């Protein structure tokens, strides 16, 4: 198994924790920092694991883990969609998987292969082939 401190391995608490055991924020903020020992962001004040991409976990922002906010039911759960901001290639490799998910979710079905190819090229140019392939494997097999 890959070491969890490897930033390309885990970058979201949803990959390790059950729904409701972490908070969801609408985007990366200074209030949460990436903890390389845990492999995901943690809220500085509450210590709660924090997902910063609602579209990635299918939950609206909320303090589910830190404040016990009830999870929305399937009937009233809006499916958050990636924003235009989510489609900007990040500078931080820990945000690469979320960016790839945003690209996949926003691409029209007939354009998916082209979008993936372009995303792979852009990511590899910034983060290298190994980090890009690892992130793509996680995204496409999850």
Residue-wise pLDDT tens digits, 25-54: 998 889 998 898 888 999 999 999 999 988
The one-character DSSP state at 83 is: -
Largest distance between two CA atoms of the chain: 44
What pLDDT does residue 1 have? Answer: 31
What pLDDT does residue 53 have? Answer: 87
What pLDDT does residue 77 have? Answer: 66
Distance from the first to the final alpha carbon of the chain? 16
The one-character DSSP state at 82 is: -
In three-state secondary structure terms, 127 is helix
What pLDDT does residue 100 have? Answer: 94
Contact 123, 135 (CB under 8 A): yes
Q: Taking the CA atoms of the chain, what radius of gyration do you get in angstroms?
A: 15
Contact 122, 103 (CB under 8 A): no
HSE-CB of 103 using CA atoms within 13 angstroms: 26
pLDDT in tens, the chain (142 residues): 333 334 445 578 988 888 899 999 998 889 998 898 888 999 999 999 999 988 888 889 999 999 999 998 877 766 788 989 999 999 999 889 989 999 998 999 999 999 999 999 999 999 999 999 999 998 888 6
CA 47, distance to chain mean position in Å, is 18
What pLDDT does residue 2 have? Answer: 34
Q: What is the pTM of this model?
A: 0.66
What pLDDT does residue 15 have? Answer: 81
């Amino acid at each position: 198994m890959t070491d969890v401190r490897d930033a390309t391995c885990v970058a979201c608490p949803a990959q390790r924790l059950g729904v409701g055991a972490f908070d969801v924020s609408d985007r990366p903020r200074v209030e949460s920092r990436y903890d390389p020992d845990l492999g995901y962001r943690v809220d500085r004040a509450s210590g709660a694991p924090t997902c910063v991409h609602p579209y990635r976990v299918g939950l609206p922002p909320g303090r589910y883990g830190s404040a016990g906010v009830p999870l929305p039911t399937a009937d009233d759960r809006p499916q958050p969609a990636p924003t235009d901001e989510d489609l900007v290639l990040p500078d931080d490799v820990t945000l690469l998987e979320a960016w790839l998910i945003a690209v996949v979710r926003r691409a029209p079905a007939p354009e998916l292969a082209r979008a993936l190819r372009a995303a792979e090229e852009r990511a590899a140019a910034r983060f290298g082939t190994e980090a890009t392939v690892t992130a793509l494997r996680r995204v496409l097999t999850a």
